[in-house]
Structure 1
């Protein structure tokens, strides 16, 4: 049973068999979101070129730049199409290769257009700024976080540039200058081969960055998935410290046997009260009550296991190590009574009925873990200790003590807390053969509160039962 629970919780913690597909979907979404920004960034220089170049030609500052203008328009169309595809999250799988490899080849298209339309062919613009556009297109391809795609794109860009240079070589050889080094810079195959290598290694660098970014995104997505899982298992009433510990130690969620303190708290007479009260008032008062009780429990290291109607079940010492879980639980119970007293004082002043509670505490071995069906699981504890704590809570009204603890818990208390407890003898509870030895903790707020010459009655005096 423990192995099965551990396997179940591990599947939940790491996403189970569906984790890869879910993670891939999130990764595709994040990659396409990044690709949209990359497409917009690449669109800016294309729009600028399509706007500024005609103005400069009209002003007579440059001439014969019709091919670059056409190329800028082509880039605008390409970047816009890439943006729209990424917006629909269609750039993934084989589509990513089919879309981004041609996109990386845009500078090559420009050089081929020049070779077909310009008198000097590809040599007209091969040494200009368009060759640097390879780095821009490779950067955009890197936004998809795919190392293989980026690496292949780097090879395509480098080989394409080298091929375009070979097309332009004859035209480049017509260039003359007094400085032979300057001529060599334009015409040397070796030097331009180094340019191809720079394009290749620049793309590989971007591919490596894509890998690092992908791992970071995957880690963030996994952590977010685990946090969502913890929120589903524990709800909003578990401290961030507990969640962080569970994220760092997934084995803490595994089904395992542990000794924990179980606390049960139940409102007295709430059923009768709810029969006559307005639903809105019931919800408002219950929320205020639960907020107060949860605060008292979590401040002492406890974890809310569940709410059962108007009852609260909590555990101490299961997930978060405590120096003395029994002492922490009893101190939390006392603070719960203090906070209830403060709530009752406020409600009494508003003319509302006061509430009273019973709290039962027991310590024992339980099975702790994520338990439930494949569709829905709750992180909880099960075992005899849970049933016993519930039975003890039900005895509080009979014994006249709002807080009852068993001898098992009493024996683990420090002397100062033991001195505050009162031995009540033994009691037989349903589901147990052996009688329980019980101890009661007197209410710290038994004295009435005085306001304006009137005494604020104790909850037991105003409670409708």
Structure 2
């Protein structure tokens, strides 16, 4: 065991420096291991006369060593170990049978084909070990290929949708089933984006969007939210789907407040052009799932809660605010010293009944 550990470290060290040809040491190592029971059996013959050592359990060590050689995942090495064991056992059998004491043995014990048959089994064991090794390598290769393919899919789609959504798709064999769940929805919009973009080149517009959205999306991800759709100057984010947390409303509010503080700091430092945003938060039951044609689907989030969140974001223009939340969110969060301004009986587009709205910022 000590020799094997040292040898493996030496092989890894040489391989690190590009000396892969020194892999032949693995064959030297297996040769030495196979020779151990051969030497032990030969030395044992000095204490037990004639071929009796060949009948002891010590000869089974050959099979153990051949079996352990599969851990090297090298079919050629497995065959080599079986052939070495077969040859050494055959030579040892002939040596002990030629001993003068063997002449006094019964015909059964002095029958060489019996020992040669055992040697053939050792050689056959090497070929069987090689077959097992090949099957294991195939399984490992398929797993690694599948893992690599999965990583590629996660990388490609992770640039367009959230990692959690990609995981949901892969775990459900490329199909996301419609589910009803409670979640908090955030709509965010950059104010006066059209005015900013009208005299800018496409490259400048993209650079501005990346500079603004990069830290905002990072904050949302940090608070376990998922950006579902980016729509030019704004986006929709979900807190609670496809993975729910203990208090997604609190996470969404914390993310919105941190976005406001970070944006303010970047505006003051001049890292980005003067930028204002509007955020609307609402919570309620939503329906999540894949929507679209057979060859083109999108992870969709629908429901009244989504519509109300979008309307709240638009109300920021009317109230000259930056963060509005619904009563459903307000009842589930802790404001930590913030004093919201309550707007009673606010009518929103598309709804006949007024709602309570709380202005946080």
Structures share fold, TM-score greater than 0.5:
yes
Work out whether residues 428 and 435 of structure 1, in 8 Å CA contact, stay in contact via their aligned partners in 2: yes
| In 1: Cα distance, 2:168 partner to 2:192 partner | 38
Seen in structure 2, the aligned counterparts of structure 1 residues 431 and 230 have a Cα distance that, compared at 3 Å, is farther
Q: Shift in Å at residue 369 of structure 1?
A: 2.9
Contact 1:234–1:379 (Cα < 8 Å) also in 2: no
**Partner of 2:254 in structure 1?**
331
- The 2-side partners of 1:370 and 1:199 are apart by 57
Deviation at 1:249, TM superposition (A): 6.0
Residues 233, 379 of structure 1: 8 Å contact kept: no
Match of 1:361 in 2: 281
Matched, 1:441 2:360: yes
**TM-score, structure 1 normalization:** 0.51
Which of 164, 167, 180 is matched with 2:98 structurally?
Answer: 180
CA distance in 2, matches of 1:335, 1:177: 84
Alpha-carbon shift at residue 303 of structure 1 (Å): 1.1
What residue in structure 2 maps to residue 282 of structure 1?
205
Point out where structure 1 has 5 or more consecutive residues left out of the alignment.
1-40, 46-131, 144-149, 166-171, 443-465
Q: 1:372 to 1:205 in 2, by over 3 A?
A: farther
Separation (CA, whole Å) in 1 of partners of 2:216 and 2:205: 16
SS of 1:321's partner is coil
Label 1:178 to 1:272 Cα distance change in 2 as closer, same or farther (>3 A).
Answer: closer
Q: Give the SS at the match of 1:423.
A: strand
Cα distance in 2 for partners of 1:189, 1:372 equals 73
Aligned-partner Cα distance in 2 for 1:390–1:231: 30
The equivalent of 1:396 in structure 2 is 316
CA 142–390 in structure 1, closer or farther in 2 if over 3 Å, else same: farther
User: Is 1:427 paired with 2:346?
Assistant: yes
Contact (CA 8 Å) 2:185, 2:281: kept in 1 or not?
yes
Give the 5 Å matches for 1:184-199.
188-199=112-123
Contact 1:360 1:390 survives alignment (8 Å): yes
* Shift in CA distance, 388/177, structure 1 to aligned 2, threshold 3 Å: closer
Cα distance, 1:261 vs structure 2: 0.6
Once the two structures are superposed, the pairs formed by residues 4-403 of structure 1 within 5 Å of their partners are 180=98, 188-235=112-159, 238=162, 242=164, 246=168, 250=172, 253-347=176-270, 353-403=273-323
Q: In the alignment, is the contact (CA less than 8 A) between 1:268 and 1:356 conserved in 2?
A: yes
Q: In structure 2, do the counterparts of structure 1 residues 293 and 436 end up closer, same or farther at CA, with 3 Å as the change threshold?
A: same
Partners of 2:158 and 2:166 within 8 A in 1: no
Shift of 1:231: 4.2
- How far is the alpha carbon of 1:141 from its aligned partner? 6.2
Q: Distance in 2 between matches of 1:393 and 1:274?
A: 21
Instruction: Compute the displacement of 1:288 (Å).
Output: 0.9
Pairwise CA distance, 1:293 = 0.5
Q: TM-score, normalised by structure 2?
A: 0.64
> How far did 1:375 drift?
3.3
CA 299–280 in structure 1, closer or farther in 2 if over 3 Å, else same: same
Contact 2:281 2:309 in 1 (8 A): yes
Aligned length: 281
Distance 1:247 1:198 in 2: 49
Question: Is the contact made by 2:154 and 2:166 (CA closer than 8 Å) also made in structure 1?
Answer: no
Contact 1:233-1:377 within 8 A present in 2 as well? no
1:142–1:398 CA distance, 2 compared to 1 (3 A): farther
Aligned counterparts of 2:76 and 2:128: Cα–Cα separation in 1: 10
Change (3 A) 1:228 1:365: farther
Inter-CA distance 223–260: structure 2 relative to 1 (3 Å threshold): farther
Question: What is the CA–CA distance in structure 1 between the aligned matches of 2:169 and 2:178, rounded to whole Å?
Answer: 16
Inter-partner Cα distance in structure 1 for 2:195 and 2:95:
103
Aligned to 2:333: 413
> Using a 3 Å threshold, how does the CA distance of structure 1 residues 330 and 378 change in structure 2: closer, same or farther?
same
CA deviations 1:153-177 (Å, max 9, x no partner) are x9xx99xxx9xx9xxxxxx9xxx99
The gaps in structure 2 that reach 5 residues or longer are 1-19, 25-65, 104-110
Q: Distance in 1 between matches of 2:154 and 2:179?
A: 17
- Please give the secondary structure, in 2, of the residue aligned with 1:426: strand
